[in-house]
Every structure is written in structure tokens, then in C-alpha cells.
Chains A and B, each alone.
Chain A
Amino acid sequence: MRKLIRSLVLRIAQTIGTQIRDFESGRSLGRALIIPWRGKLHVIGLKVAVRPMFQPQKRLTYWKQEIVFAEYPSPDFPRIPQVGPETAGRGGSPEPPATRKLNSGTGD
């Protein structure tokens, strides 16, 4: 039942939602509902992975900014010459910090 309701909501969002376009290319990315709620923007029905960003403005305005969306280009990173598997990783170890806890955000 939940899946049915979710499918229905998605169908509605992708029918009556706003047309989302890639900010850089102008390509259509499909329709989605964008609903402000409790200080957040809820995006419903968008199928494509996009980055949200505030659109740069040629005219200085203090009262309005726009959030736009952009796709990443296809990954095309160069190969970094390998110096041997034993030196993989910044720390020079093939065993990255398997148990190292870098997240100290809890203050524990």
C-alpha cells in the first residue's frame, strides 16, 4: 500500500511539478515538486543527480536570490601514476584506517 501511494505521489510530482533544467546546459532534467516546509526545500520526484547552488547574478540585488541545479560532467579524472600497491593511500599503507574514527562530532 505504501509503495502504491509513493508511486502515485511520484507520478503526480513528475506530471504537475516544475520543469527542472540544468543551469549550465539548459537540458531538461524532468519535472519535480519543490515544496518549502519548515525551513527546508523538499524536492519530490527528481530522478537525476544534481547539485543545487545559488545562481550567480549579473545585477546586484539584496532582496532575491535563485537556487538552480546542475549536473556534474561525466567523470574524467586523470590517472595518477602508481608507485606500487604497498604505497597506496596518502598514509603509505594498503590498510587504510579501518577502525580509525575521524568523526568526533559527538564530543564523546
Chain B
Amino acid sequence: MSSVLNLISTHQSSGAVSRMIAYWERHVPRESIVVAYGGTRSEFETIEYEQKFFVDDPRLRTRDHQREFQSYTQLLQMAAEFLKTRGDQFQFVHFAEYDHLPLVEDLNERQIKMLTAEGADLLAFHVHRVDGTNDPHFLYHAADLDFINYWAAITRRPDPEVVLTMFGSGGFWRREAFCTVLAIKEPFPIYMELYLPTLAHHLGFRVRDFGAQNHFVRVLKDETDYIDQARKEGAWTLHPVKRLWDK
């Protein structure tokens, strides 16, 4: 029985979701897959998969994600609720957007091994410290003193000024960190790529980077035609793969 909950967010058609699940089943156990749906309610109802939930949150459905402070908080909180319904079965949470593709059959085992080796509570892609830098997302938030003051109010660490960023398309959490972070109510809109790693850090959890795997997680260019090559180059996952579920 898997100890990893594989949480996949998508807004695509029910047909695309079925093809996506069929693909994922070749890499992780079916019973470990949960679909968090951010499309329309009517489309959600047609998805033929039992482990699914509908996320009715306008802050998930942003267009200009950074300026509108896109949030995954509600989505992940619903996943935390799902975790509780399964008792202690799942000790880790692997979150992935629909276009963040698993490429290896022992993905979860590799993630657990790396998390353990790093002594980490959260493994994410492109983790950087950005306070005091020219990072655009940090500067956009730093214009609001509430953002700066918030971390000082909640931190368990000696330096309240630390702000971390990560790439939002995927991450691997230890359950304790996941549930503790998601038990917190988001105080005001904060872009999720800053909010999640910074909150985890200030609550005392160790946030680490996927290191060499960052190379296979990029921002803009669709990687659908690059899957085999990425696998040969040692990728565990690949992002963004936009067209694989089209038909």
C-alpha cells in the first residue's frame, strides 16, 4: 500500500483527465491518486474517477497569476481533509499540476529517498531565498508592509525576514509539514510560490530544492515533444507538458 498521496490538479476535460489518470497509473498506484479539479462544476461531474474533489475557489482560477496572487491554499486544504479520511495511510504528499508529468515508475520511492537524505520536510523546484533581492514577486509583495510583518508575527526562527520562493507546479511534502502549513488560514492574498515555502520555513520545517531535477522543470516552452529525451537525460518528472492529454 502506497504511503504517498499523489495529488494532481487539473481543469481539463473529463476525457483528458481519464487519459491523465491512465498514464499516472503506470507510475504510481491508482489508489494513491487524487484529482483536485479546478474547471467547471458540470465537467467535474462527468469525470469517472472516484477519488476527486471540486475546488470552488476564485483565487485558484486566476489569469494573471502573480498579480492576482494565485492561491493553492484551499485546494491543498481540501487534500489535507482527504488525508484525514484515510487515517495514517499516507505519510507523504506529492502535488503536481496536470502538465507536470511523471517519467519514472519508481517516482515516489525516489522522492522519499531524496527527502530523507536531505532531512527535508518539503522538496520543491527552483527554491530560492529572495528577501532583499530584485525578485519581482518579492518586490511586489514587499510593497505591502503587512507581508513583511506577517512572518515576524508567526515565525519560530531567529530571522523573520527570510522569504523563500519555489516553482508552483509540483512539490513533495512530509505529511506533518503539509498538514501544519495547511492548518493555517492565509492571512491576506499572497502568491502561492512565495506563501507555501515561506510559511513552511517559518513554522520550522526544512525546505530544500530538487537540485539537478530543476533542469527538467521549466516555465514557458511546451515540452511534449521532449519527453523521451528528458527521460534519457535522467528526468524524474517534466514540466510543462501541455498536449499529452489532448487525445
Stretch of A2-10, A11-19, A43-51, A58-66 lying at the B interface: A43-51
Q: Find residues 46-91 in chain A having any chain B CB closer than 8 Å to their own CB.
A: 46, 49-52, 72-82, 85, 88-91
B157 contacts A80, C-beta separation under 8 Å: yes
A98 within 8 A of B: yes
CB proximity of B52 to chain A, nearest CB, Å? 26
Residues of A within 8 A of B206 (CB): 77-79
Q: Cβ of B204 and Cβ of A82 under 8 Å apart?
A: yes
Binding site for B on A (CB under 8 A): 43, 46, 49-52, 72-82, 85, 88-91, 94-103, 105
Top 7 A-B residue pairs of the complex, sorted by shortest distance between their CB atoms: A80-B204, A102-B149, A103-B145, A79-B206, A49-B135, A72-B129, A49-B133
Is B205 located at the chain interface by the 8 A CB criterion?
A: yes
Beyond the given A89-B156, A90-B154, please list 19 additional residue pairs across the A-B interface where CB-CB is below 8 A: A72-B130, A73-B129, A75-B207, A75-B209, A78-B206, A79-B204, A80-B157, A81-B204, A85-B183, A88-B154, A89-B153, A94-B184, A97-B150, A97-B187, A100-B153, A102-B149, A102-B150, A102-B153, A103-B144
Can you give 5 A-B contacts (C-beta < 8 A)? A77-B206, A88-B183, A88-B204, A103-B145, A105-B145
- In the docked arrangement, what's the CA distance between A75 and B144, Å? 24
Cβ A90 vs Cβ B156 within 8 A = yes
List which B207-243 residues lie within 8 A (CB) of chain A: 207-209
In the complex, B89 has a CB within 8 A of chain A: no
Q: What's the least CB distance linking B221 to chain A, in Å?
A: 15
